[in-house]
């Protein structure tokens, strides 16, 4: 499976409803914002449902839960409906899925990892993503979070992603770069001691698409132009990699570092390079 990138997040056009009600100051609409300090939070660790309704049908083959606090025992479930009130038989039902992938027996560090240990995030924010094989036309969606033994005593998430992913017929070029950034600043005292003022840490991802068709370049250019640097995107370089650790490491919720340029590499073949910064 080639890279997947969701640029147009249709969740931002949806009306959201939480059941049971969330913390009043941390509502469901925070899931439509791309900020680490603006989460949607439940009032307890009881099961939580989030409903999304659109005024018209949206094509959906990408679903993502970003910045959650669910443990390796927690699950999430996504359902898509043709009806506007999330009733009837769902068009798609993911079933309850692990919010954090657990290591298989062969992947455990014997004597170090307990059974059920989650894969490390490799510097990423805790997330769960589903890339579907085909799009569904949905008027509503339901997301269920479950983690009754969560030590925080509540469930929360930073962002939800719903929409139609972009996936080029020819994958990204060799040489993609994942960089770990640290905005901490060093200062030396008069006697030479090195001090640090801690700053935020995040990741940057750079990759090139060198074999875009005219139709792919048109769609990608339209979506990136509409999103700009203010919009956030969900990207996975290896969405179907057999290693959960690799999938986690190379999946980012991010903003464009700058709007890319497109060039005509060959007749009807287009190329561009994209750099994003993690939100």
Shared domain check, 103 and 212: no
d(C-alpha 28, C-alpha 66), whole Å: 14
For position 103, which CATH number holds?
A: 2.60.120.260
Q: Are residues 142 and 264 in the same domain?
A: no
How does 192-231 read in b/e, with b if 16+ C-beta sit within 10 Å? eeeeeeeeeebbbbebbbbbbeeebbebbbebbeebeeeb
In a domain, 172, yes or no: no
Overall number of domains in the chain: 2
279 residues of the chain, pLDDT tens digit each: 899 999 999 999 999 999 999 999 999 999 999 999 999 999 999 999 999 999 999 999 999 999 999 998 999 999 999 999 999 999 999 999 999 887 665 665 665 655 555 656 556 789 999 999 999 999 999 999 999 999 999 999 999 999 999 999 999 999 999 999 999 999 999 999 999 999 999 999 999 999 999 999 999 999 999 999 999 999 999 999 988 888 989 999 999 999 999 999 799 999 999 999 999
Range of the domain at 269: 177-278
113 within some domain = yes
Question: Would you tell me how many other CB atoms lie within 10 Å of the CB of residue 48?
Answer: 26
d(CA 100, CA 247): 12
Q: Are residues 142 and 189 in the same domain?
A: no
Which position has the token pair 């999330």?
86
* First-last CA distance in the chain: 25
Tokens of 22: 């969330």
């Amino acid at each position: 499976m080639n890279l997947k990138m969701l640029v147009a997040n249709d969740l931002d056009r949806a009306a959201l409803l939480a059941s049971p009600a969330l913390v009043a100051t941390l509502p469901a609409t925070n899931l439509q914002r791309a900020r680490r300090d603006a989460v949607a939070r439940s009032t307890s660790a009881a099961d939580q449902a989030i409903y999304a309704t659109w005024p018209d049908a949206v094509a959906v083959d990408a679903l993502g839960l970003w910045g959650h606090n669910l443990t390796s025992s927690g699950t999430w479930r996504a359902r898509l409906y043709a009806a506007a009130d999330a009733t009837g038989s769902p068009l798609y039902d993911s079933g309850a899925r692990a919010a954090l992938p657990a290591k298989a027996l062969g992947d455990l560090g014997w004597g170090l990892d307990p059974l059920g240990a989650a894969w490390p995030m490799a510097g990423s924010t805790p997330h769960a993503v589903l890339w579907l094989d085909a799009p569904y036309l949905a008027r509503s969606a339901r997301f269920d979070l479950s983690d009754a033994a969560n030590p925080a005593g509540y469930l929360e998430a930073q962002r939800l992603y719903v929409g139609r992913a972009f996936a080029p017929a020819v994958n990204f070029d060799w040489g993609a770069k994942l960089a770990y950034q640290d905005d901490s600043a060093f200062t030396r005292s008069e006697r030479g001691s090195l001090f640090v003022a801690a700053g935020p840490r995040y990741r940057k991802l750079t990759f090139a698409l060198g074999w875009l068709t005219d139709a792919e370049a048109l769609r990608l250019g339209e979506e990136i132009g509409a999103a700009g640097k203010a919009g956030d995107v969900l990207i996975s370089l290896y969405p179907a990699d057999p290693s959960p650790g690799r999938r986690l490491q190379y999946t980012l919720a991010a903003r464009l570092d700058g709007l890319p340029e497109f060039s005509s590499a060959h007749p009807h073949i287009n190329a561009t390079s994209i750099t994003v910064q993690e939100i």
